[in-house]
């Protein structure tokens, strides 16, 4: 449907509020005419966008509706994609067992019906879930499988996503040079294709590596650039993450007032979107206050 396609184009450009308007119009028309496939697509698009801006519970509601329709009409592609999206949303809510279950279901459907793009996405989702559990080697193995498929099918956007995730996993293992190499390529891809949210994510990831290498001023510049993009896009989750990371850097530099303000802002954002990361930021703020001289 044309309205959904316009919404997708606007979403890619980061014009989320306008994209929502088109998706909602498409959903209303699809329901009015009993077009189940268009209804499924509109619900899925609304779910993806809601998750992108940190509205995870709302995203889950949309994905549950879209996957129910996909089952009803026998849309294997939509079913696999919806299941994977549910996994991603549950991971954002720190419900990792549920996330893994949905990613595994998505992977099974994708492989049964030869859906290579969905297979790559599901493998990437499993990588994210195990990464969240600090099982970095297992995560990297999944990411690399996903990356191989993305390259085979010419999915440059997926290639950038998987490279960025591999870079983060390497960073968590202390393999910073390999991490930096992956993230530089991921950042270049996101800029090449104009994928601004990925650009923000990659900048924040690169900032983490620079901070770990003691390059604090460069790290701050990366986080601030990522923060500006997140705010421009209305990506509340990305905004909270950048603020929290800035807090960590400023705390390490002994700039406690700046760190304190960043943590407070991060907590407010995470609480607004019901993210479990609010507790982590609150803990960092508490430790900073306890060390006040």
pTM of the model: 0.83
134-167 as b/e, with b when 16 or more CB fall inside 10 Å? eebebbbbbbbbbbebbeeeebeebbbbbbbbbb
The 3-state DSSP composition of the chain as helix, strand, coil percent (nearest 5) reads: 85, 0, 15
- pLDDT category of residue 2 using cuts at 50, 70 and 90: confident
pLDDT of residue 122: 98
- 110 within a domain of the structure (yes/no): no
- 165 within a domain of the structure (yes/no): no
CATH number assigned to the domain comprising residue 55: 1.25.40.10
* pLDDT tens string 97-152: 999 999 999 999 999 999 999 999 999 999 999 999 999 999 999 999 999 999 99
- 25 within a domain of the structure (yes/no): yes
> What angle, rounded to 10 degrees, do the helices at 176-192 and 196-212 form?
160
- 5 within a domain of the structure (yes/no): yes
- pLDDT category of residue 20 using cuts at 50, 70 and 90: confident
Q: Which domain holds residue 41?
A: 1-74
* pLDDT tens string 43-75: 999 999 999 888 999 999 999 999 999 999 999
- 51 within a domain of the structure (yes/no): yes
- 14 within a domain of the structure (yes/no): yes
135: left (phi over 0), alpha (psi -120 to 50) or beta: beta
CA distance 56 to 43: 14
Mean pLDDT within 157-179? 95
* Tally of domains in the chain: 1
- 16 within a domain of the structure (yes/no): yes
- 234 within a domain of the structure (yes/no): no
pLDDT of residue 293: 47
* pLDDT tens string 212-268: 889 999 999 999 999 999 999 888 889 999 999 999 999 999 999 999 999 999 999
């Amino acid at each position: 449907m044309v309205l959904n396609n316009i919404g997708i184009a606007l979403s890619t450009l980061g014009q989320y509020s306008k994209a929502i308007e088109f998706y909602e119009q498409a959903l209303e028309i699809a329901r009015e005419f009993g077009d189940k496939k268009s209804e499924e697509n509109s619900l899925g698009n609304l779910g993806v966008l809601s998750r992108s801006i940190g509205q995870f519970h709302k995203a889950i509601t949309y994905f549950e509706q879209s996957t129910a329709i996909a089952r009803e009409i026998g849309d294997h592609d939509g079913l696999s994609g919806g299941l994977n999206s549910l996994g991603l949303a549950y991971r954002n809510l720190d419900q990792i067992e549920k996330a893994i279950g949905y990613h595994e279901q998505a992977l099974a459907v994708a492989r049964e019906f030869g859906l290579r793009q969905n297979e790559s996405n599901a493998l990437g989702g499993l990588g994210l879930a195990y990464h969240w559990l600090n099982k970095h080697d297992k995560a990297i193995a999944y990411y690399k499988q996903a990356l191989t498929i993305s390259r085979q099918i010419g999915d440059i956007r997926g290639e950038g996503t998987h490279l960025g995730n591999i870079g983060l996993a390497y960073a968590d293992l202390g393999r910073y040079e390999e991490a930096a190499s992956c993230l530089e390529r991921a950042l270049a891809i996101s800029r090449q294709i104009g994928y601004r949210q990925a650009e923000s994510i990659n900048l924040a990831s690169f900032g983490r590596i620079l901070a770990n290498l003691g390059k604090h001023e460069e790290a701050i510049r990366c986080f601030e650039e990522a923060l500006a993009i997140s705010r421009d896009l209305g990506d509340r989750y990305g905004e909270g993450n950048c603020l929290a990371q800035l807090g960590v850097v400023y705390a390490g530099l002994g700039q406690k007032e700046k760190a304190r303000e960043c943590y407070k802002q991060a907590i407010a954002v995470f609480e607004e979107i019901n993210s479990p990361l609010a507790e982590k930021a609150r803990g960092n703020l508490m430790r900073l206050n306890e060390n006040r001289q």
